[in-house]
Amino acid sequence: MSKKKSANRYFLQGNEAVVEGALTAGCTFFAGYPITPASEISEILSERLPQVGGTFIQMEDEIASMGAIIGASLAGAKSMTATSGPGFSLMQENLGFACIAEVPCVIVNVMRGGPSTGLPTNPAQGDVMQARWGTHGDHPIVVLATSTVQDSFELTIKAFNFAEKYRTPVVLLSDEVVAHTRETVELPPREEIHIIDRIAPSMPPEWYIPFEDNSRGVPPMAAFGDGYRYHVTGLVHDVRGFPTQRPDEIEAFMKRLFRKITQGFNEIQMTKDFMIDDAKVAVIAYGSVARSAKRAVLDARDRGVKAGLLQLVTLFPFPRMKVEEVLRQCRAVLVPELNMGQISREVSRVNQGKCQVRKLNRLDGGLITPEQIMYELLKI
């Protein structure tokens, strides 16, 4: 950490804040593969993790990185990887494994322009739907989006907490601008930060049924080597973890996977609002674009437009309730994105004619500026 200003204030870039968040959350294992603009996370953790008794390993590719963090998590560690679009695509195979085997882990995707090698050093938000639907099969997943360096710290902790609490992979979407912007952040004292650890089985091994349902839908998780010898598989399995073809067992299992996330909607679906109470037009934004949007809202208010901002912190499960409130209240909403409209389609989906939904898209590798957003706000 560099340039310490006062007790808890630091001057950090987004990628550094992710590292601080991960270490604060208790991450002790990181596996990754070099890729711009995420490499700083690997570099810093390769130095920091051994200092705290943790493990860093650079794997041969992103497929292997994802496999290694799943293995590490099954052995009891809080684990993470970080990558960008093309590497994220390689992780999708094993991300599906983490979903079905309910292995807590965190995947940071620092988005850059795409598809393919695309624009490695420019920001973009093209991986929103990749984060949601990138892996095969029907599955729930938690996707968070950071817009500031402070967010990067706090959301990394949240990502670990959700991963541990719900036994699910959590994707944290950052982008090139958030990753490389340096800002002052305040890191609260350790004792003020709420850290969640997975629940270990409290029963003796012979009573442990590793994938048995309970009121939370999240079974306690034993680590390999703790005396609870059980089977983990990417096949659909019964409550004991053994592969099954029985429709009743398959359905119960798949429904529990979805239910455990649905039951957590209230806490998982996070949004931030800004001057939204009396807003007649609103911006719905996330990631680095939300920064521009905040400024645009102020500028629009200066010009007499009652504008507000709903920032989506959680992208999936899509925070439908909060979005619907804004759609009911406003005559128009603007969804600016660094893609052709991946979240605006979600907004339109829940809109159902309540309100006018406008898009503002930029794909040239630049950021959406406050002026662009304000201009659109003045038009609607």
Interacting residue ranges for other proteins, rule: CB under 8 A = 28-29, 31, 47, 50-51, 53, 55, 57, 59-61, 63-77, 79, 93-94, 96-97, 223-227, 229-235, 240, 242-243
Closer Cβ to other proteins, 36 or 55, answer by number: 55
Closer Cβ to other proteins, 79 or 168, answer by number: 79
What minimum distance in Å lies between the beta carbon of 170 and other proteins?
Answer: 17
Peptide bond into 317 cis (omega under 30): yes
Closer Cβ to other proteins, 35 or 330, answer by number: 35
Closer Cβ to other proteins, 202 or 245, answer by number: 245
What does DSSP assign to residue 205?
A: G
d(CA 216, CA 241): 18
Two tokens at 300?
A: 């629009």
What minimum distance in Å lies between the beta carbon of 78 and other proteins?
Answer: 10
Peptide bond into 205 cis (omega under 30): no
Q: What is the 3-state secondary structure (H, E, C) of 234-254?
A: CCCECCCCCECCCHHHHHHHH
Closer Cβ to other proteins, 2 or 51, answer by number: 51
What minimum distance in Å lies between the beta carbon of 236 and other proteins?
Answer: 12
Between the alpha carbon of residue 376 and those of residues 338, 361, 370, the distances in Å are 15, 11, 10
172 neighbors 184 (Cβ within 8 angstroms): no
**What is the C-alpha radius of gyration for the chain, rounded to an integer number of angstroms?**
21
Report CA 326 to chain centroid distance, whole Å: 23
Closer Cβ to other proteins, 75 or 321, answer by number: 75
Closer Cβ to other proteins, 235 or 321, answer by number: 235
Sign of the C-alpha dihedral computed for residues 47, 196, 173 and 271 taken in this order: negative
Would strands 332-337 and 281-285 be described as parallel, antiparallel, or unpaired?
parallel
Between the alpha carbon of residue 52 and those of residues 1, 23, 48, 56, 157, the distances in Å are 15, 9, 7, 11, 17
**CA triple 292-293-294, angle to 5 deg:** 95
Closer Cβ to other proteins, 33 or 166, answer by number: 33
What minimum distance in Å lies between the beta carbon of 97 and other proteins?
Answer: 5
Kindly report the length of the chain: 380
d(CA 313, CA 285): 9
In the chain, the largest separation of any two C-alpha atoms, in whole Å, equals: 69
Sign of the C-alpha dihedral computed for residues 284, 318, 147 and 179 taken in this order: negative
Closer Cβ to other proteins, 200 or 235, answer by number: 235
Closer Cβ to other proteins, 20 or 337, answer by number: 20
d(CA 325, CA 118): 37
d(CA 265, CA 259): 10
